[in-house]
């Protein structure tokens, strides 16, 4: 087992998932302002530190994705944030892309940037304690999107990023997110996601990536948010598993789904259904942002000094997601 494979498996094993706490300052400001909390570096740190020091971390969370501001911060315990996370047994990671910008040649689509100076930034993050990284590409669905240009450009960027990350001794999370926005059917989502993932792996192989030392972070196969189609979690699982079995090489150790625009319960129920029907060798777990934090954030905003109460809400949500990652979740457990 390679060192990278070992790190990936440590993050994903035993039903543990990844806490995506890598919201940019702009996104985090929107989240905090939506619950009437001023967005300052201190408040952003206070909320995140509340989660990172909760009991649920050691039982349910295998890795935490940080933002550049957060990985450089120091907790109230005087530990650095990576030290605080490592003390729970979870592995610190960091988002290293610099965001999605307009794609020249297809202005309604996006290309993710951040390759310039990445090698040096990775070395600095490694010294700070990061052992895995994240790079997210986004793809729209419509009758003409995602275009070949978007699929190829983003696949190439994901592969170049992955090569630099592995060179630095870290595990790359490869995140090609086909967005839920739009009125498309689940079948369309299946076809477009298949095309995107297949192309990503072609580029990863061209770039000589050790596939046993990556984590794939895809979307689930869902109907668009404005679609009239309503599909069951069983159908989500069937289509998602089919897509992954057909397009992901068997060397990949695990898949950590993003929640996209799903509610906490939808993201949990669909993950549970995927695991109940998982007939692959892939570990299937979660890498959730909003779907792990939304209830905790809402509770915390009522009294930002109620640390224990906020942690209780977060622990419950993380527990539900971990049960779903083992196919053991039921809706009755939500109210216990």
Residue range 72-121, pLDDT digits in tens: 999 999 999 999 999 999 999 999 999 999 999 999 999 999 999 999 99
In whole angstroms, how far apart are CA 40 and each of 79, 157, 310?
Answer: 20, 32, 19
Instruction: Write the burial class of residue 164 (CB in 10 Å: 0-12 exposed, 13-18 middle, 19+ buried).
Output: buried
Mapped onto helix, strand or coil, the DSSP state of residue 326 is coil
Q: DSSP label at 304?
A: T
Dihedral sign from CA coordinates of 94, 301, 177, 242 = positive
By the 10 Å C-beta count (0-12 exposed, 13-18 middle, 19+ buried), 304 is classed as middle
How many angstroms separate the CA atoms of 186 and 95, rounded?
A: 29
Report pTM.
Answer: 0.98
- Domain 3-335 superfamily per CATH: Aldolase class I (3.20.20.70)
Determine the Cα–Cα distance for residues 305 and 233; give it in Å rounded to an integer: 37
Q: Tens of pLDDT along 224-255?
A: 999 999 999 999 999 999 999 999 999 999 99
Q: Which residues are catalytic, by number?
A: 217
Which stretch of DSSP H or E encloses residue 68? helix 68-71
pLDDT tens digits, one per residue of 125-166: 999 999 999 999 999 999 999 999 999 999 999 999 999 999
Q: How far apart are CA 135 and CA 217, in angstroms?
A: 10
Q: How far apart are CA 307 and CA 50, in angstroms?
A: 6
């Amino acid at each position: 087992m390679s060192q990278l494979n070992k790190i990936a498996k440590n993050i994903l094993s035993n039903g543990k998932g990844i806490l995506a706490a890598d919201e940019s300052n702009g996104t985090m400001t929107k989240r905090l302002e939506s619950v009437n909390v001023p967005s300052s570096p201190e408040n952003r740190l206070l909320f995140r530190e509340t989660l990172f020091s909760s009991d649920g971390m050691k039982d349910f969370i295998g890795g935490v994705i940080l933002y550049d501001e957060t990985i450089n911060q120091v907790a109230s315990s005087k530990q650095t944030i990576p030290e605080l996370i490592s003390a729970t047994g979870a592995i610190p990671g960091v988002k290293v892309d610099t965001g999605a910008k307009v794609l020249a040649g297809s202005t309604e689509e996006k290309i993710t940037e951040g390759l310039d100076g990445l090698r040096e930034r990775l070395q600095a993050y490694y010294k700070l304690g990061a052992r895995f990284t994240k790079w997210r590409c986004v793809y729209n669905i419509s009758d003409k999107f995602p275009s070949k240009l978007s699929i190829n450009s983003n696949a190439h960027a994901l592969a170049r990023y992955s090569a630099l990350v592995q060179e630095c001794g870290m595990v790359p999370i490869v995140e090609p997110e086909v967005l839920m926005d739009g009125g498309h059917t689940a079948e369309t989502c299946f076809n477009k996601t298949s095309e995107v993932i297949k192309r990503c792996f072609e580029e990863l192989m061209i770039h000589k990536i050790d596939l046993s030392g990556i984590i794939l972070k895809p979307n689930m196969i869902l109907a668009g948010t404005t679609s009239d189609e309503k599909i069951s979690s069983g159908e989500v699982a069937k289509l998602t598993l089919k897509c992954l079995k057909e397009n992901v090489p068997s060397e990949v150790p695990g898949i950590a789904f993003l929640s996209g625009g799903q509610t906490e319960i939808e993201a949990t129920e669909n993950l549970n259904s995927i695991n109940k029907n998982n007939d692959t060798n892939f570990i299937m777990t979660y890498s959730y942002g909003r779907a792990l934090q939304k209830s905790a954030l809402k509770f915390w905003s009522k009294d930002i000094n109620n640390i224990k109460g906020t942690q209780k809400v977060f622990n419950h949500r993380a527990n539900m997601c971990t049960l779903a990652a083992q196919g053991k979740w039921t809706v009755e457990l939500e109210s216990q």
